[in-house]
Amino acid sequence: MDAYLKIQSIQGGEITSTQNLLDFRIPAGDVYDLHDSFIALNGSVDVVDSSAVGGEAVYATNLQWVTADGEKPHFQNVAVVKNCNMDCASKGRIENIRRVDVLRQNLATYVDSQKEQLNQSYIDINQLEQPINKEVYGQFSSFNKVGAVKSSPQTIAPIQIRLSDLMEFCRTREYDTGKAGDTRIHLEINRDKLEVAQVMKTATIPAALRQFRNETAQGYVGNTITLGQTNTANIVPVDDLTKVPYYVGQRLQVTATGTAPPATVTDAPVVISAIDWNRATGAYSLTFSTPWGLTLGAGETYTTISVKVADATSVTYRMNSAELVLRRVQNPQNVGTINYNTYSTEQVNGNSSTNYTNLFTVEGEASNVILMFPDGNDGLVSVNNDIASWRLRLNNNDLTDRDVDKDSPLAYDRLALTFNNMGYSLRNLNKNPGKSNAQTWPGTYTDTKFNTQLILNPLFQTPNTKLLQVNINAGGGGVKAVNLYKQLPRVFTY
């Protein structure tokens, strides 16, 4: 039976924005399934609670990309790695991809359907809001939405990055280190681009789900409230827990109007100790570990009871360690040759030119070329809404018989043709990776700041290096950052 083993990174200690290099050494001797192997970047969130009343609370948090403004793109786990390379003792360099984060992030936007992206959310360190009630349950806590078992923060929440997502060589099911020798994987991490934020705050909860029914019973102790209509004794039935944003261990602030006595309560801090949900009637009640008000006497009432989510004093993300998890093959088939594709990268700046022209030297064996524009406010998503048209020439031969206009049938033809030639299936024409802090679900994939723009085309192979001429017509801010990726077929033999 195949087994998994873990290899710690050579570097120890916390991974920071200045200590962001990782090396893994795979010793010679065994055969590994690299396709099912992955990197685990183990991290945790340090939370400073906003109050001591009711005990320590659990806050919903989500890792997000650092941007110049408040717009946060949804990023793939693979985008956490900026540059990567792999080499072995017997053959030397296997792959070396610069700005693999930009390459893989933007390819995934087109080759993964929207449903596939949602289905993979169980592993995503950056979660999208769910279509129902804007819920975001990240990887840093385990939430209980009914009963009296308190939700718990995860002491270790790994960012899991499949090796096959980083490097296409690692899609092999058998890699024999007995023949290849000691193997080293080197990574540069985008630690400076990661930050944590509290999510599922008050603004995301519909007003109807923050209002609770009046309490008028003599002897009532203000530590249980029932979801209901404002200023009535009527409940608001709940038919599905996904429609309510509360969980055991959550800190809330309660506001209620009371007859004197009791006095009006404003933003009283509490922690949910139990949630009761009657499936038959739909009655939904929150119980707190400490009362938020006074015990009611005869004729006394609490009305206009409402809650809001308490903000933590601070939340801080720490990336504590890294490990390589390898699947060791018990009964290998002795594969002797591995065919794969890798990429070479050139990074240039268009200096805001509205009539951009450049001449690139391309390897003779290069079979496809992709231009990406990691500008915008994040340096990750290939965005340039100012581009109007383009034309590519290879060794003075036009690759199209006319200019390619943005979003034209010819542009989509180049898109489909190139992805097919690269060995991918074009599954998504949404051309938007998603916005992780969208205010509404319909706005998740519609923010134009994250509309991706690629220029790509198949290339004919030549015995020698070739020249690629790029002409881009743009308005507005013109062409700025440009990443040119050239796909190179490779054959690895022991």
What are the domain boundaries of the chain? 3-199+317-493, 202-309
How many of the other CB atoms lie within 10 Å of CB of 189? 25
Mean pLDDT for the chain? 93
- Res 411: pLDDT: 97
Confidence of residue 295 (pLDDT cuts 50, 70, 90): confident
Q: What digits encode the pLDDT tens for the residues 325-347? A: 999 999 999 888 999 999 999 99
Task: Give residue-wise pLDDT tens across range 261-278.
Answer: 888 999 999 999 999 999
Give the C-alpha separation, 385 to 271, whole Å: 47
Q: What burial class does residue 393 get, using C-beta atoms within 10 Å of its C-beta: 0-12 exposed, 13-18 middle, 19+ buried?
A: middle
**What is the fold, at CATH topology level, of the domain defined by 202-309?**
Elongation Factor Tu (Ef-tu); domain 3 (2.40.30)
pLDDT for position 85: 97
Residue 138 corresponds to which tokens in the numbers above?
């990240």
Cα(484)–Cα(454) distance, integer angstroms: 10
Nearest C-alpha neighbor of 123 from the set 190, 58, 64, 40: 40
Contacts (Cβ under 8 Å, ≥6 apart) of 358: 348, 350, 469, 470, 482
Q: Which helix (H) or strand (E) holds 390?
A: strand 387-394
Q: Are 379 and 67 in contact (CB under 8 A)?
A: no
Contact 246, 275 (CB under 8 A): yes
Task: State the pLDDT at residue 364.
Answer: 96
Which neighbouring-strand residues pair with 153?
141
**pLDDT at residue 477, as a whole number:** 92
CA distance 404 to 358: 17
DSSP structure class, residue 236 = -
In angstroms, rounded to a whole number, what is the distance separating the alpha carbons of residues 126 and 378? 15
C-alpha dihedral sign at 299, 304, 307, 308? negative
Which of 462, 457, 461, 434 lies closest to 446 in space, CA to CA?
A: 434
Percent over 70 (pLDDT), the chain: 99
112-169 per-position pLDDT tens digit: 888 888 788 889 999 988 776 678 888 999 999 999 999 999 889 999 999 999 999 9
Task: Supply the DSSP string of 108-168, one letter for each residue.
Answer: HHHHS-HHHHHHGGGT-SSPPPPTTTT----TTEE---SBSPPPEE-S-EEEEEEHHHH-G
| pLDDT band of 456, cuts 50, 70, 90 | very high
Handedness of CA 6, 7, 11, 16 (dihedral sign): negative
Distance CA 216, CA 478 (A): 66
Separation of alpha carbons 283 and 225, rounded Å: 11
Three-state secondary structure call for residue 183: strand
- Strand 31-48 relative to strand 157-162: parallel, antiparallel, unpaired? antiparallel
For 208: left if phi > 0, alpha if psi spans -120 to 50, otherwise beta; the answer is: alpha
Which comes out higher in pLDDT, residue 233 or 479? 479
